[in-house]
Amino acid sequence: MYSTNEHSITEHLRDYQQEMKLRLFEEWEFHRNVNVMVQMPTGTGKTHLLTAIVREFLHASHAPVWIIAHRRELVGQIEETVARYGMRKEDGRVRVLSIQWLFRNGKVIDESPGLIVIDEAHHALAETYRALWKRYPEARKLGMTATPYRLNGRGFTDLFDSLITSWTVETFIGKGWLSPFDYVSIRADSREQRLIDSLKKRGADGDYQVKEMNAVLNRETTIKGLYESVERYAHGKKGIVYAISIAHARRIAACYNAHGLDAVAIDSRTPASERKKLVDDFRQGRMKVLVNVDIFSEGFDCPDVEFVQLARPTLSLAKYLQQVGRGLRKSIAKESCILIDNVGLHRIFGLPTHRHDWRAMFEGRMIGNALSRARASGGLSLPAALSLTDSVGQREEVWEVVMTHNRLLEAIRNREAAVSGEEAENGKESQAALKSCLDRRSGLWGLKHGNKITVTPCYLQVFDIQGDRAAVRLKDGRTAVVNASGEPEIMFSEPEMSGGHDRRLKFLKGELLAV
């Protein structure tokens, strides 16, 4: 038996996590074998939500659940989180596996999972993941990620059927769930920015080539500039530095230590036991700065990180948001986080509060965003996320303050007030989206606007909703498109023996309906 019941987990879910869980299970109610990707910003509790979803699935099914991590270092961390809610690996119903181990040893596992959860699912286009779809076609697939995006522009629709998105980073900051930030960057006309703009070579993944970055930026003057910016804007604070290469990370740590700043470099060559000790020292405040190479971009939870330093250029939106997200977790110990951008990434991607069209990226219709495309082709005239900039000093200044946390919060409050005013003027009820609602006693579905039910539960299924129209299955098995009041706009005549019960409907763009 599990020591923690499902109700207690649900009780501790935040409002937006409850909403995401409800939307996911509604999606599974509509389409029994649908594969869903869930997007939530870094630091908003994806693993906590994942745990609640797994528990609810286990209550309704006897089939085991697999949680797949893309790095073996994350396996133990996820196991600890899952075990806190009574789902220990010894019970055998929940397995946490690295994709590398599963790819090598999957054939020796004598079970078929009912649910496969992919952590950091933006990695799921790799062939190792595709093998899961082929080997376990009947299992539901759930992908969890902050960034449903690939640098090569390939979408995810060949693996996942739908995307559920959470609030924006801006909204999470405004509601107090993520930390506000100060954003400091090298100036557009600085020597450092010109060096980065000179990078021409690309790696196999489409990002800047590591060898060229290391040759251009792993130099004494540039590394001295990294230290000077930390000393100026984050003196005495605890932070994470993202470096280009192992050599670059070690050289940065050596420079910081030479100036009296306790720093250590961690990379893929650092033994696991030593890495654990160093991370513990960092968490306990015995070490001020962790310099790393792609080790703490994903799955690293340390809320009291006070600054994040970006010392590695990238064309990957996912990498950028994963890295700055390490500093946006809330902590009683900090009022805000300082993001020190020594490679000008905000000119490619905007600030972390920039709104991204995740659905377009998920569907493969957009490569990152317009900002990254402009920068990749040499364009540098890029807007800030909230159209607020504040340069300090004169033209010879190396750094500029792009955003302060006070101005950020003020801008978010002003925007929220404008949206609230618009909703009040037009009437919240009329602005609420049409949604489905389930009567669990009868098992039938109805329609509602906000909290107002417009159609009492009378449908066997609600396939899809677009605007004020819903695609539904009636009690007699026929399918139809109805308006918000339940009046039929399109009705399909389906005699019971004609196979009509297998018919499904889905709205497409441009007033099209897929049957």
Q: What is the mean pLDDT of the chain?
A: 82
Q: Which fold has domain 172-415?
A: Rossmann fold (3.40.50)
Counting residues of the chain whose pLDDT is more than 90, the rounded percentage is: 38
What pLDDT was estimated at residue 93? 84
**pLDDT tens profile 46-93:** 888 998 899 888 888 888 999 988 777 678 778 887 888 777 766 778
Given the candidates 3.40.50.300, 3.90.110.10, 3.30.70.20, 3.30.70.260, the CATH classification of the domain at 6-166 is: 3.40.50.300
Domain spans of the chain, in order of start: 6-166, 172-415, 431-514
Banded model confidence at residue 259, pLDDT cuts 50, 70, 90: very high
Per-residue DSSP letter, 223? H
Q: Bigger pLDDT: 236 or 88? A: 236
- Whether the pLDDT of residue 159 is over 90: the answer is no
What pLDDT was estimated at residue 90? 61
Contact 436, 444 (CB under 8 A): no
Banded model confidence at residue 396, pLDDT cuts 50, 70, 90: low
Q: Bigger pLDDT: 285 or 5? A: 285
Banded model confidence at residue 379, pLDDT cuts 50, 70, 90: very low
Q: Bigger pLDDT: 482 or 89? A: 482
Print burial letters for 472-507: b (CB count within 10 Å at least 16), e (below 16). bbbeeebbbbbbbebeeeeeeebeeeeebeeeebeb
What pLDDT was estimated at residue 432? 64
| Domain 6-166 and domain 172-415 have a common topology | yes
- Whether the pLDDT of residue 173 is over 90: the answer is yes
Q: In angstroms, what CA-CA distances link 27 with 167, 435, 462, 473?
A: 18, 12, 10, 15
Q: Stretch 173-184: mean pLDDT, rounded?
A: 95
Q: Stretch 258-264: mean pLDDT, rounded?
A: 94
Q: Stretch 289-300: mean pLDDT, rounded?
A: 75
Q: Stretch 156-178: mean pLDDT, rounded?
A: 92
Model confidence, pTM:
0.75
Residues 6+ apart with CB under 8 A from 3: 86
- Whether the pLDDT of residue 195 is over 90: the answer is yes
Q: Bigger pLDDT: 333 or 66? A: 66
